[in-house]
Amino acid sequence: MLEWINRYEDRAWQTTTDGTVRYALIGLGWWTLDVALPAIESSDLGEVGVLVSSSHEKAERLAREHGVDAGVDYDEFHEGAASEAYDAVYVGTPNAFHLEYAETAARLDKAVLCEKPMEATVERAERLVETCESAGVPLMIAYRMHTEPAVQRARELISDGFLGEPVSVYGHNSQPLLEMIPDPDQWRLDPDRAGYGTSVMDLGIYSINTARYLLRREPRSVRSTMASEHEAFSDVPDQSASSLFLLEGDVEMVTMSSQHAQDDTHLKITGTEGQIDLRPAFHGECSLRLSRGDVSVTVEHGSFDAEREMREEFDYFADRLLGDGEIYPDGRHGLRDMAIIEAVHESAETGEEVDIDGI
């Protein structure tokens, strides 16, 4: 037990501790600057070489403020400016711009770490994957739950049979978006920049992807309902959304997401013999509750806030570039999430059950 408690420092996925990956950060919103950038700076295998933003002045100013060597604007990036200063790009722009930066990165032979969801539509996500595959550059989708220690412990326990047979999954991700970002014109509410919608693309994807990661079972069909009542959500269908999935092996999964509700993140997997409960699940400080029969154990990693989760993710990505491990959340993995999200929207639109094809 003592070994199990201490073990996370081992990073079971780690293959190397040598080398450095230098990043160009693209899309300088609060997440990139306040979470991703300090995460890279404190990581073992990463450093920030270039900041890329809408204007040269802004990029240079932010580079100076954050101690980064170079700042370039989007046009300069596409022209290959400062390309000697980075080995990989981190794409943190609104969803609908991921493809263009990945295309340039691939042309410049740079590895790509792309935020989730991959792009605005399945079609554009497919182009993104194919672009990286054709160019032979590594592509990873930034699912930070995969390197979250509570989630990794859950994954290991599930592999070891902790649940017995899995029976059902419940995923919930809600937040009061307009209180967090009080701007009705923000990109998450604009389908041209966000894609299919807002709450499933931005929040529901955590439940879907973490369940896939933990159970290694893919959703095979979905029935969904969505609603947008607040005027700020008039252009997107899913201010809130609920879905009923069937996963491989007839595991039932229900998920709920809302951009206009009390904050809550929760993933619960119930099996014939045990239950695994992550709550909070998706926003840092993930707490893991394990129940089997009448015994319950709670595990908390107090130090894992969102920044440290990102640090783990960047070191995992760098490890894959520098060492010899495979990238688990690769482009094909992320593409399947896009197909699942498209099916969720199609079901809500048609009222019908939608089969989810393998991609």
Among 78, 127, 223, 283, contact with a copy of itself (rule: CB under 8 A): 223
**Cis bond before residue 38 (omega within 30° of 0):** no
Going from the C-alpha of 148 to that of each of 26, 160, 285, the distances in angstroms are: 24, 18, 9
Applying CB under 8 A, the span of 3-11, 114-122, 128-136, 168-176 interacting with a copy of itself comes to 168-176
Half-sphere CA count of 114, side-chain side, radius 13 A? 37
Least spacing, CB of residue 156 vs a copy of itself, in Å: 18
Bridge partners (DSSP) of residue 168 are 252, 270
Nearer to a copy of itself, 161 or 176 (CB): 176
Among 85, 108, 167, 299, contact with a copy of itself (rule: CB under 8 A): 167
Contact 90, 37 (CB under 8 A): no
292 sits near a copy of itself (criterion: CB under 8 A): yes
6 sits near a copy of itself (criterion: CB under 8 A): no
Contact 170, 267 (CB under 8 A): yes
106, 44, 100, 137: which is closest to 330 by C-alpha?
Answer: 137
Binding-site string for a copy of itself from residue 182 to residue 211, where x marks contact by CB under 8 A and - marks none: ------------------------------
273 sits near a copy of itself (criterion: CB under 8 A): yes
Among 244, 307, 325, 332, contact with a copy of itself (rule: CB under 8 A): 244
Question: Pairing relation of β-strands 287-292 and 260-271?
Answer: unpaired
269 SS3 class: strand
Going from the C-alpha of 155 to that of each of 147, 162, 212, 257, 304, the distances in angstroms are: 11, 10, 10, 23, 17
214 sits near a copy of itself (criterion: CB under 8 A): no
Nearer to a copy of itself, 93 or 210 (CB): 210
* Binding residues for a copy of itself restricted to 127-166, rule: CB under 8 A: 163-165
Among 172, 212, 320, 336, contact with a copy of itself (rule: CB under 8 A): 172
219 sits near a copy of itself (criterion: CB under 8 A): no
Bridge partners (DSSP) of residue 170 are 254, 268
**What is the rounded CA–CA span in Å between residue 319 and residue 46?**
10
* Binding residues for a copy of itself restricted to 7-66, rule: CB under 8 A: none
Applying CB under 8 A, the span of 132-140, 144-152, 172-180, 326-334 interacting with a copy of itself comes to 172-180
Least spacing, CB of residue 278 vs a copy of itself, in Å: 14
Backbone angles phi, psi at 23, to 5 degrees: -110, 145
Q: Which residues bind a copy of itself (CB under 8 A)?
A: 163-165, 167-168, 170, 172, 174, 176, 223-225, 227, 229, 240-244, 246, 250, 252-256, 258, 260-264, 268, 270-275, 291-294, 351, 353
